[in-house]
Amino acid sequence: MRITVFGATGGTGRHLVRLALDAGHRVTAVVRDPARLPDADRPGLTTVIADSMDPDAISASVTGADAVVSTLGARARTDTTVCADGARAISTAMRAAGTRRLVVVTAAGPVVDEGDGPLTRGVYKPLLRLFLRDTFADFTRAEQVVSGSGLDWTIVRPPRLTRGGHRRYRTALDRNVRGGTALSRADLAHALLATLDDPATVGHTLAVGY
């Protein structure tokens, strides 16, 4: 499979690039600083230096891809439009290139549904929304862009991300994972790779957690 990864130098993106290469896929990593990509010299990896917010700049990187993954996220509290702007640029470039499969990472935090327990609904998530209001608003706007893109999309919603290793994780379509309050970036990358060729996830949100 030919996979294009945005956010490839981030914590989740690095894991995803490595897992995809280990599985024999061809990966295009779209980055601003190639020095931050640890696997830059591995066979099967193409590095493209481009602004992920510019549809014209990333057009070539999504052309011919079997799937595109965005793990873009804010690096600072002041980055309040990264996810939505990135989703908008990527989906625009994909439509122009005729590329269909898009998987985008947001978060479970902004969403309260039947998958959440009473404590999560009544205490934890209200506090998260208070302290992460702008970040959550960016996730929500990104999801609106992706779900309205007309592409074969999946939105993946992890909970709090950690630096842990691999464990057995759970997934849920169109609702949060009950009690799934944490997930390692390594396991998020594993779930993303598994989602790419899973037709059951197209047009749905996928929550992932322990």
Band (pLDDT 50/70/90 cuts) for residue 207 is very high
CATH number for the domain harbouring residue 88 = 3.40.50.720
Model-level pTM greater than 0.85?
A: yes
Q: How many domains in the chain?
A: 1
Structure tokens, 122: 């009544």
The share of the chain scoring above pLDDT 90, in percent, equals: 82
3-class secondary-structure state, position 188:
helix
List of residues 6+ apart from 190 with CB closer than 8 A: 15, 19, 166, 169
CA distance 38 to 40: 6
C-alpha dihedral, 77 to 81 to 85 to 86, nearest 10°? 20
Structure tokens, 203: 């047009």
Band (pLDDT 50/70/90 cuts) for residue 70 is very high
**Tokens 């993106």 — which residue?**
13
**CA 3 distance to own-chain centroid:** 13
CA distance 116 to 106: 17
Q: Domain containing 100: what range? A: 2-209
Packing angle between helix 11-22 and helix 185-195, nearest 10 degrees? 50
| Predicted local distance difference test score (pLDDT) of residue 78 | 73
Please report, as a single letter, which amino acid is at residue 9: T
Residue bearing the bigger pLDDT, 130 or 168: 168
Residue bearing the bigger pLDDT, 92 or 118: 92
